[in-house]
Amino acid sequence: MTRAEWKKVLVVEKILDGHMTNAEGAAALGLGVRQVIRLKKKYVEEGGAQALAHGNRGRKPKHAIPEEVKDHVVELYTTTYHGSNNCHFAELLEEHESIKLSTPSVRRILLSKGIKQAKPRRRKKAHQPRQRKPQAGMLWQIDATPYAWLEDRAPSFTLHAAIDDATGTVVGAVFRPTECREGYSLVMMQGIRNYGVPLGLYSDKHTIFRSPHETLSLEQELAGETKPLSDFGKAMAELHIEHIKALSPQAKGRIERLWGTFQDRLVIELRLLGVKTIEEANEALPKLLEKHNRKFAVQPKQAKSAYMEPDPSVKLEHVFTARKYRKPGHGNTLSYNGKVYTFAKPCKFRFDASATVEVRETLTGEVLVWHHGQAIALKETEKPVRDPATPTKKAEPAPPRKPAANHPWRLAWSPKQLQRNTNFAPGQVT
């Protein structure tokens, strides 16, 4: 019997012995008088103290989880869902196995078999977190992280992603072999096409986001640039997105915490889908992002969205490009990355010999000239090739020429020598 049950026995026995009244016993136990009368009757009729023990003691509850279900859950965890946390494991059991269990039940079942959670629970931080932005689209946070997303089925590669600060919605994500400008560009293009143009973007200070050059080159000054920007920074300026560079990882904590969630869940999801290559991972990623957003996205404080509608005349493929400045040569040709290009079609613009043009290379490798907000397609042309069999004739040196004796080159500056050279007749031999 429990301590509370023994207290009931003691009070009931005192009432029966006449040492306490029913009201005093009710006050001591914190019960009503009628309940104390029922306890007295039960004590007398059912044989003493044991009658006041709980009637279900020693019985198995009707809603208890059967042992065969527990064994099946443990087997599924060790064979199929190993590495998942308790909350995610409970969701996967309901989604794939039609076994509905609460997270505490799953935790108790695994602990009873000596299986502890793969990663410890994240403790709450003592510092005050930054408040979310009130409207969706006011700020995106963007970052990339390398990880063994396919475990031992493939080498590690990098996940690029962007998250909306107000809602926690992952607006875009893509896998790439390493952290690169192309990955960030693809993420931004996904988000802009699906949601709109955000007002601001928060990133770290990687050289992808900022120019390593502190001063402008002559070509950049002639092109009208006012401050050095990376290719990604120029795309942000063209789309009128305010680009903020964080000074520490803690400043963009929302996307830093996203990596912990993805490393917990995304690895298991990709394993269950049988993904073995980075190409297959990118194909499966959109549906996994939808699943993530349904569970973790929240409603913003203000229903009105801050997203800007993208200009339909602007092609994002021409915005997120690599950019260089070149001077056109003879015949409207220019050199780029060791190749010679010319205009694919007759161009209506005329470029001076001293003009500087902006050359853009898209993510698909297309090279074009950007002039007055218009894209002019280029095509590769062949360099003039010299025949190596034909030797190049070098000019012969001129024969040596000895000046005459009275040549001004031989004249001295002294008056005596000058008089002697003057009196020397031409052709005279001494």
Percent of the chain with pLDDT over 70: 83
- Residues pairing with 203 in the sheet: 245
In a 3-state reduction of DSSP, which class is residue 52?
helix
Looking at the predicted structure, is the pLDDT value of residue 42 above 60?
yes
Q: What is the pLDDT of residue 165?
A: 94
Q: Which strand (E) or helix (H) includes residue 418?
A: helix 415-423
Q: What is the pLDDT of residue 120?
A: 63
Per-residue confidence at 126, pLDDT binned at 50, 70, 90? Answer: low
Q: 200-203 and 140-147 as β-strands: parallel, antiparallel, unpaired?
A: parallel
> What is the spatial distance between Cα 105 and Cα 223, in angstroms, rounded to a whole number?
66
At 40, list the tokens.
């007295």
Phi, psi of 384, rounded to the nearest 5 degrees: -65, 125
Q: What is the pLDDT of residue 400?
A: 81
Q: What is the pLDDT of residue 267?
A: 94
pLDDT tens digits along 381-424: 876 666 666 666 677 787 887 877 777 766 666 666 666 655 55
Average pLDDT (1-10) is: 81
If you write DSSP's letter for every residue of 78-146 in order, what string do you get? HHTSTT--HHHHHHHHHHHS-----HHHHHHHHHHTT---SSPPPPPPSSPPPPPPSSTTS-EEEEEEE
Q: State if pTM tops 0.85.
A: no
In a 3-state reduction of DSSP, which class is residue 278?
helix
Q: What is the pLDDT of residue 31?
A: 86
pLDDT tens digits along 46-90: 777 777 777 666 666 777 888 889 999 999 999 999 989 999 999
In a 3-state reduction of DSSP, which class is residue 375?
strand
> What is the spatial distance between Cα 272 and Cα 270, in angstroms, rounded to a whole number?
5
Looking at the predicted structure, is the pLDDT value of residue 426 above 60?
no
- Residues pairing with 264 in the sheet: none
At 251, list the tokens.
């400043």
> What is the spatial distance between Cα 360 and Cα 343, in angstroms, rounded to a whole number?
13
At 274, list the tokens.
């049988």
Per-residue confidence at 219, pLDDT binned at 50, 70, 90? Answer: low
Residues 6+ apart with CB under 8 A from 129: 253
Sign of CA dihedral 80, 84, 89, 95: negative
pLDDT tens digits along 92-109: 999 999 999 999 999 999
Burial 402-429 (b: 16+ CB within 10 A, else e): eeeeeeeeeeeeeeeeeeeeeeeeeeee
Axis-axis angle for helices 86-96, 103-112 (nearest 10): 110
Average pLDDT (267-271) is: 95
Q: What is the pLDDT of residue 40?
A: 84
Looking at the predicted structure, is the pLDDT value of residue 20 above 90?
no
- The amino acid sitting at 287 is K
Kindly report the number of other CB atoms within 10 A of residue 224's CB atom: 6
Residues composing the chain: 430
Q: What is the pLDDT of residue 73?
A: 92
Average pLDDT (234-246) is: 91
Looking at the predicted structure, is the pLDDT value of residue 228 above 60?
yes
Choose among 160, 133, 188: nearest CA to 321: 188
Q: What is the pLDDT of residue 19?
A: 85
Choose among 191, 154, 155: nearest CA to 171: 191
> What is the spatial distance between Cα 128 and Cα 326, in angstroms, rounded to a whole number?
51
- Per the CB < 8 A criterion, the answer to whether 137 and 196 are in contact is yes
Average pLDDT (224-249) is: 84
Looking at the predicted structure, is the pLDDT value of residue 226 above 50?
yes
If you write DSSP's letter for every residue of 284-322 in order, what string do you get? HHHHHHHHHHHHH----SSSS--PBPPPTT--HHHHS-E
pLDDT tens digits along 196-213: 999 999 998 888 998 776
Choose among 177, 182, 185, 184: nearest CA to 157: 177
Axis-axis angle for helices 231-238, 181-194 (nearest 10): 20
Percent of the chain with pLDDT over 90: 45
- Per the CB < 8 A criterion, the answer to whether 77 and 71 are in contact is no
Cα 425 off chain centre by: 94
Per-residue confidence at 220, pLDDT binned at 50, 70, 90? Answer: low
Q: What is the pLDDT of residue 429?
A: 45
